[in-house]
Structure 1
Amino acid sequence: MPKLNISIDEEQKNFEADVAAIEKQWSSPRQAHLKRPYDARTIAALRNSIDATPSASSTQALKLWAQLREHNRNGTTELTFGTTDPTVVSQMAKHQQTVYVSGALCGFSEVAIPGMDHADYPWDTVPKVVAKVFKSQLWHDQRQRQFRLRHPKEKRAQLENWDYLAPIVADGDMGFGSLTSTMKMAKEFVDAGVAMIHIDDLAIGMKKFTVGQGRTVVPTSEYLDRLRTVRMQFDIMGAETLLLCRCDTDHSEFITSVIDERDHEYVLGATNKVEPLKDSLVKAQAEGKDLKTVRSEWKDKAGLKTFDEAVKAVASDSEYSAYTAEVLKEKFRSLSARREIASKTVKQDIFFDWELPRSSMGQYMFKSSVKAVVERAVAAAPLGDVTWARMDAPVWDDIVEFHTKVREVYPDRLFAFGYTGDYEYGKAGFSPEQVKNLPWDLAKMGVVWQVQPIWSLQGLNMVADQFGKLWAEEGIAGYVRDIQAPALAQKPMADGFEKLSWCGGYLADAFFETVAGESITER
């Protein structure tokens, strides 16, 4: 293999030019709000000697950024939903500005072995679906453009002209493991043409759905490392791709580690001397007892509290006031620092052991709150472009508090919101009118992107079930009456195989005409 014939001076000159270009990009209106733990020289040194990054992701990201900023200025919002089907995406172009590719949907429909939303599919699963969807968007854009240009200018105003290139927002889950796998996933997303991905703070492989236990999050430091890794990969590629920072801390019940003192305030410990929870559960299982009941009884005996709650339980009012006054002199206090302060301000000894409640998988028990979610969101904000607090339970006061508190720190922050979970609005105290106005009330707080992630499960299942019943009972007569006749009668005709402009018939023939030397456009 021959050596590169380049002078050292030329190499350094090219490097300095790369550094200058990176610094210019980072100071642009699009990226000026981002704060990185590294400098432009570091990123320049990590780049290839040629630009090998496709431009589509940046093009779509800039388009999405403009859409979101416009919504923020106008107090409006984008309402989209999740799908993995290119045909569905082609219809979304008529009503939605964006498309969402959900990891949960991919886990059901785009893998060899489907399963519940454990994010246990290969790390390149969602990027591959994004690539499939984006290529379908390009095809629809191409066949529509060709069909329009085969008509003279004066007739084009009457033709359909949809924006099929809706920016794609995709689910990056928790990054799928190590720093390098997160980097590779981010790169695949950019290569696929994504406009924005979201990364969350959930623990890998610890989701449970039917045993009455909540979510498990990782320490704040690990969450931020995930975001830094994605940001670094985007920067290495020179991509404008947006990063959506999602916090799943709300209603989480466990945390994997207590390595980060920022999380210590919310970790639960036993305030009574009891045997470890895991030992109680092992005995209960051997005796054939119901583990849910045993776990609940153990919690009652243990007197689970945060350390601050444990202090308050034994301290006098004046002692607790002195304790909190000292704790609040710094934004974050470790457990050891809190113990030391308590020893100086409270007469009674405080028994608190956060090891006793640990699960058989090693998780610590965690008491989530809006304050905890806000702190994570604020810490993550400088690394990303949009913030999403996953709040499955529709507690309006919590939703308002979260978005208000974050905007006290970052007044122009853009937010996303997902309609996940059961959302039993009646039980949560919402009136029908409040439910009706919810998207627009959220928009007033800067929630510019709202998504129903899993319509393609519940929604499509209902439609398929209804048609399956119709077909089984009535056959072609039912199809012609309820599907084909209305589809052909509406103006414009419903998109389908019979509509040659939509299914690509004209585009296919245009290729033959071009090869034959015929003209395919009208002036």
Structure 2
Amino acid sequence: MPKLGISAAEEQKAFESEVAAIEKQWASERQVHLKRPYSARTVAALRNSIPADSHQSSTQAVKLWNQLKQHDKNGTCELTFGTTDPVAVSQMAKHQQTVYVSGALCGFSEVAIPGMDHADYPWDTVPKVVAKVFKSQLWHDQRQRQFRLRHPIEERENLENWDYLAPIIADGDMGFGSMTSTMKMAREFVDAGVAMIHIDDLAIGMKKFTVGQGRTVVPTQEYLDRLRAVRMAFDIMGAETLLLCRCDTDHSEFITSVVDERDHEYVLGATKKIEPLQKCLQKAQEQGKGLKAARNDWQERAGLATFDEAVKAVASDAEYKSYTEELSKQEFSSLSRRRDIAADKVKTQVFFDWELPRSAMGQYLFKSCVKAVVERAIAAAPLGDVTWARMDSPVWKDIVDFHTDVRKVYPDRLFAFGYTGDYDFGKAGFSEQQVKTLHLDLAKMGIVWQVQPIWSLQGLNMVTEQFGKLWAEEGIAGYLRTVQGPALSQKPMADGFEKLSYCGGYLADAFFETVAGEEIVEKGQAQNFKRH
């Protein structure tokens, strides 16, 4: 292959110019809040020799950023929902500013073998769905623009003019593997036209929301490394794509490792000398006993507690106060330091063994609380643009405490919030009035993007079942009465195949006319397109 005809001096000059451009981008209003663990020079050296083209993802990301900042300024919020269907997305444009592509929905409808929300689908599944949706948005934008420009300017005020290019927010789950896998996924999202993706702190292969046990999270540092990998991928591409730092620590029951001392405060251990949990479960299985009952019995006998709780149980009030005062001299303390302090401040020896309760997969038991979620969110904030703490139970105090505490450190932080499909607000103590104003009350705390992730699995299923029943019972008469009649008589006509401005009839005409050498727009005049 030929050598490049560029001198080392020219190469260096081009490199320094790119470094300066990166630093300028990072200092912009859009990115100034981000803090990278690497330099612009490093990113410039990781780029291709061919300059990166402008990404449609960047256009959509800046648009989304401005929307969210405006909501924060006004104390309002965007309310959207999850779907993977381009037809549904075309109608969302009339009411929603954004579109959400859920991994759970993709796992049901966009893969060869559907499954529960276990993130067990191929890593490029969601990016491919984003690409499908975004291309449909571009098409609707194109056919609407062409249709409008076939009319003289004085007629366009009365024509439909929807913003079909609603920014797409997509589910990146936990990154689907190693750092390089996470980077590849991030690149695919950018190429697909996404505006923002979210990455969470769940453990790969351990997303078990359906077996009566809580979720498993990874150590804090592993979570941060995932976010850094995504941020680095965006930077190498020169993309403005937003990163949503999602934290699933709330109500988590396990953690994969205790390698990070920031997590030690919340790891549970046995406070009584007892056989390991796995031996207990093995015996129960051999004896034909229920494993869940055996597990619960073992946990009760083991006296599960965090190390601090174990200290408090055996210390006097004065000793525990002395222990906590010494502990507070550092922001985070490892279990080893905690043991040393307890040995110095508490007369009674503290028994604590976090190895005994470990699961068959090696997970440690974890005691989640709002403080733990806050700490992770604050650690992640400099790497991303928006924060989302998944809280499956609608505990108002927890919601308020989390968002308030994060904003004490980052006063301008923007937040996201997801409403799961089985929230029982009444059981949680919410009145009907509180539920009605919940989205507005959340918005006042900076929760500017709020989503019902799986509308398609409830709303669309319900509507489809209802129509299926009507069609089976009444046939075309029922269809004419409830669908076709109202759709055709609506002003303007409901979007459908009969509405040529929606289904692309006039855009197809424009293609044929252009190939034939005809002008599709005359100065101040509309073409005759009433042939249909």
Q: TM-score, normalised by structure 1?
A: 0.99
* Partner AA of 1:200 in structure 2: D
Structure 1 segment 28-43 matched on structure 2, within 5 A: 28-43=28-43
1:376 aligns with 2:363: no
1:474 aligns with 2:474: yes
Q: Show the counterpart of 1:408.
A: 408
**Separation of aligned partners in 2, 1:110 and 1:342:** 54
1:352 aligns with 2:315: no
Mapped contact 1:168–1:196 kept (Cα < 8 A)? yes
Q: Show the counterpart of 2:139.
A: 139
* Partner AA of 1:191 in structure 2: D
1:78 aligns with 2:78: yes
Q: Encode CA deviations 1:454-488: one digit per residue, 9 max, x unaligned.
A: 00111111011011101111111111111100111
**Separation of aligned partners in 1, 2:209 and 2:285:** 20
1:491 aligns with 2:501: no
Task: Count the aligned residue pairs.
Answer: 523
SS of the residue corresponding to residue 450 of structure 1 reads: strand
Mapped contact 2:471–2:478 kept (Cα < 8 A)? yes
> CA RMSD for the aligned pairs?
0.7
1:436 aligns with 2:443: no
Q: Show the counterpart of 1:2.
A: 2
**Separation of aligned partners in 1, 2:268 and 2:421:** 25
SS of the residue corresponding to residue 387 of structure 1 reads: strand
For structure 2, the residue ranges without an aligned partner over 5 or more in a row are 525-532
Mapped contact 2:245–2:387 kept (Cα < 8 A)? yes
**Separation of aligned partners in 2, 1:319 and 1:229:** 44
For structure 1, the residue ranges without an aligned partner over 5 or more in a row are none
Mapped contact 1:211–1:292 kept (Cα < 8 A)? no
Q: Is 341-350 or 487-496 further displaced after alignment?
A: 487-496
Q: Encode CA deviations 1:19-60: one digit per residue, 9 max, x unaligned.
A: 000000001111000000000100000000112445200000
* Partner AA of 1:385 in structure 2: D
Q: Show the counterpart of 2:264.
A: 264
**Separation of aligned partners in 1, 2:489 and 2:402:** 49
Q: Show the counterpart of 1:334.
A: 334
**Separation of aligned partners in 1, 2:179 and 2:486:** 53
Mapped contact 1:392–1:421 kept (Cα < 8 A)? no
Q: CA deviation at 1:209?
A: 3.3
SS of the residue corresponding to residue 114 of structure 2 reads: coil
Q: Encode CA deviations 1:151-186: one digit per residue, 9 max, x unaligned.
A: 111110000000000000000000001000000000
Q: Show the counterpart of 2:94.
A: 94
Q: Show the counterpart of 2:110.
A: 110
Mapped contact 1:57–1:190 kept (Cα < 8 A)? yes
Mapped contact 1:174–1:200 kept (Cα < 8 A)? yes
Q: CA deviation at 1:421?
A: 4.7
Mapped contact 1:53–1:191 kept (Cα < 8 A)? no
* Partner AA of 1:434 in structure 2: Q
Q: Show the counterpart of 1:291.
A: 291
**Separation of aligned partners in 2, 1:7 and 1:297:** 73
Q: CA deviation at 1:208?
A: 2.0
Q: Show the counterpart of 1:198.
A: 198
Distance 1:260 1:272, change over 3 A: same
1:171 aligns with 2:187: no
Mapped contact 1:196–1:242 kept (Cα < 8 A)? yes
Q: TM-score, normalised by structure 2?
A: 0.98
Q: Show the counterpart of 2:321.
A: 321
Mapped contact 1:79–1:449 kept (Cα < 8 A)? yes
Q: CA deviation at 1:516?
A: 1.1
Mapped contact 2:421–2:454 kept (Cα < 8 A)? no
Q: CA deviation at 1:278?
A: 1.0
Q: Percent identity?
A: 81
Mapped contact 1:393–1:421 kept (Cα < 8 A)? no
Mapped contact 1:54–1:191 kept (Cα < 8 A)? no
SS of the residue corresponding to residue 157 of structure 1 reads: helix
